[in-house]
């Protein structure tokens, strides 16, 4: 009788086994991936607003970029809320490799040509390395300066540089933060109000309001600005709107210029005066 019971019990267990068979089979397939995946979509666009984000184009991708900053909003009807004197930046960025891109843009401000190099040094991994680290360098040529005005002008006087280290972390699906130590150098500068070399610490972040909308904010503190200089720490608020192959960024900034060296050195808006509205529009090919 005892054996009988054992057999019945075993039979019962086996019948359970059959019922669970499909789950078991699925369990056999469900092994954890060995490779740690890179975290993606930390930021929607290549820029947070004015500051670069840690996003790079993928290999072979071409981004066309058109940005505008209108005149000072606070002047009101005087300049039709800034529409009278807009600044334009037009440029392109190309992904040579997934970790390396080059960019070239032309700015209304100072008839500036800005070349840019962006390279990823490390990627945040799921359950692994905590941050994404990207290097960004810009090289500006001011073509507005003329020999007629400055007879002893040399080519090197036209040049300015920035070197930036961008460190970001996707904290959650909606929140990403960035920290950016920045160094800029100007060959030509006003020695009363500016330094040849400026160091800054930038902070940026984005918060996703919905799948295709995000609110962005960035602020940079100048660490060695001259006392009594007329400039302000750059601050920019942005809203990303993503529509398939386009990314629109509406921005409010205290800088009208868009080349990095000028944004970092010569932002003028102080809250009551100098609010510049504009947008960055990216089209991806």
Partner 1 sequence: MKKISLLLLLFLIGNYCFSQKMITRTGKITFEASMPSFEEIKATNNSASCILDESTGDFVALVLIKSFKFKAPLMEEHFNENYMESNTFPKATFKGKIQNFDAKKLSATKSTYDLQGDLTIHGVTKKINTKINLVLNSGKITATSNFDIHPQDYNIEIPNLVKDKIAKNVNTIINFILEPQ
Instruction: Please give the DSSP secondary-structure letter assigned to residue 42.
Output: S
Tell me if 191 contacts partner 1 by CB under 8 A. no
CA dihedral 144, 255, 68, 190 (to 10 degrees): 0
Minimum Å gap between C-beta 264 and partner 1 is: 29
Tell me if 17 contacts partner 1 by CB under 8 A. yes
**CA nearest 98: which of 59, 42, 61?**
59
Question: Which range binds partner 1 by CB under 8 A, 19-27, 64-72, 99-107, 115-123?
Answer: 19-27
With tokens 């750059």, the residue in question is: 234
Tokens of 255: 């800088």
Minimum Å gap between C-beta 18 and partner 1 is: 8
Tell me if 20 contacts partner 1 by CB under 8 A. no
- In the bound state with partner 1, the residue whose beta carbon lies nearer, of 45 and 275, is 45
Tell me if 2 contacts partner 1 by CB under 8 A. no
Minimum Å gap between C-beta 130 and partner 1 is: 16
Backbone angles phi, psi at 211, to 5 degrees: -60, -35
- In the bound state with partner 1, the residue whose beta carbon lies nearer, of 26 and 77, is 26
Contact 26, 112 (CB under 8 A): no
Of all helices (H) and strands (E), which one includes residue 38? none
Minimum Å gap between C-beta 135 and partner 1 is: 21
Tell me if 19 contacts partner 1 by CB under 8 A. no
Tokens of 169: 């972390």
CA dihedral 242, 243, 245, 251 (to 10 degrees): -40
Binding mask 117-156 for partner 1 (x = CB under 8 A): ----------------------------------------
Total of residues contacting partner 1 (CB under 8 A):
32
Question: Which range binds partner 1 by CB under 8 A, 16-24, 186-194, 196-204, 258-266?
Answer: 16-24
Name 217's Cβ contacts closer than 8 Å, sequence gap at least 6: 48, 49, 204, 205, 206, 235, 236, 237, 238
CA dihedral 5, 10, 12, 14 (to 10 degrees): -170
Tokens of 168: 């970001």
Tokens of 130: 């905590």
- CA 257, CA 89: separation in Å to the nearest integer? 9
From 2, 19, 28, 228, residue interacting with partner 1 (rule: CB under 8 A): 28
Minimum Å gap between C-beta 80 and partner 1 is: 30
Question: Which range binds partner 1 by CB under 8 A, 35-43, 117-125, 150-158, 226-234?
Answer: 35-43
Q: How many CB atoms lie within 10 A of CB 77?
A: 6
From 2, 14, 151, 228, residue interacting with partner 1 (rule: CB under 8 A): 14
Q: Euclidean distance between the first and final Cα of the chain, in Å?
A: 78
Binding mask 227-256 for partner 1 (x = CB under 8 A): ---------------xxxx-----------
Q: Which residues bind partner 1 (CB under 8 A)?
A: 3-4, 7-8, 10-11, 14, 17-18, 21-23, 25-26, 28-30, 33, 37, 40-41, 58-59, 61, 173, 211-212, 242-245, 284
């Amino acid at each position: 009788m005892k054996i009988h019971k054992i057999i019945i019990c075993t039979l019962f267990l086996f019948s359970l086994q059959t019922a669970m068979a499909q789950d078991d089979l699925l369990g056999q397939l469900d092994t954890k991936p060995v490779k740690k995946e890179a975290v993606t979509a930390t930021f929607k666009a290549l820029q947070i607003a004015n500051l670069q984000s840690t996003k790079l184009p993928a290999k072979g991708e071409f981004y066309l970029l058109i940005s505008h900053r209108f005149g000072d909003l606070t002047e009101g009807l005087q300049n039709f809320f800034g529409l009278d004197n807009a600044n334009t930046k037009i440029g392109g960025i190309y992904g040579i490799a997934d970790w390396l891109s080059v960019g070239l843009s032309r700015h209304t401000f100072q008839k500036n040509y800005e070349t840019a190099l962006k390279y990823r040094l490390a990627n945040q991994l799921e359950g692994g390395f905590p941050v994404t680290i990207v290097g960004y360098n810009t090289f500006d040529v001011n073509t507005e300066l003329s020999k007629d005005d400055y007879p002893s002008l040399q080519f090197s006087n036209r040049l300015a540089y920035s070197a930036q280290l961008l460190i970001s972390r996707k904290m959650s699906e909606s929140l990403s933060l960035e920290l950016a130590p920045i160094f800029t150098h100007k060959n030509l500068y006003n020695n009363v109000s500016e330094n040849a070399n400026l160091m800054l610490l930038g902070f940026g972040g984005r918060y996703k309001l919905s799948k295709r909308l995000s609110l962005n904010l960035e602020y940079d503190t100048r660490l060695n600005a001259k006392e009594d200089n007329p400039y302000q720490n750059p601050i920019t608020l942005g809203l990303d709107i993503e529509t398939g192959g386009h990314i629109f960024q509406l921005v409010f900034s205290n800088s009208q210029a868009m080349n990095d060296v000028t944004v970092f050195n010569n932002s003028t808006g102080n809250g009551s005066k100098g609010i510049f509205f504009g947008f960055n529009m990216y089209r991806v090919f």
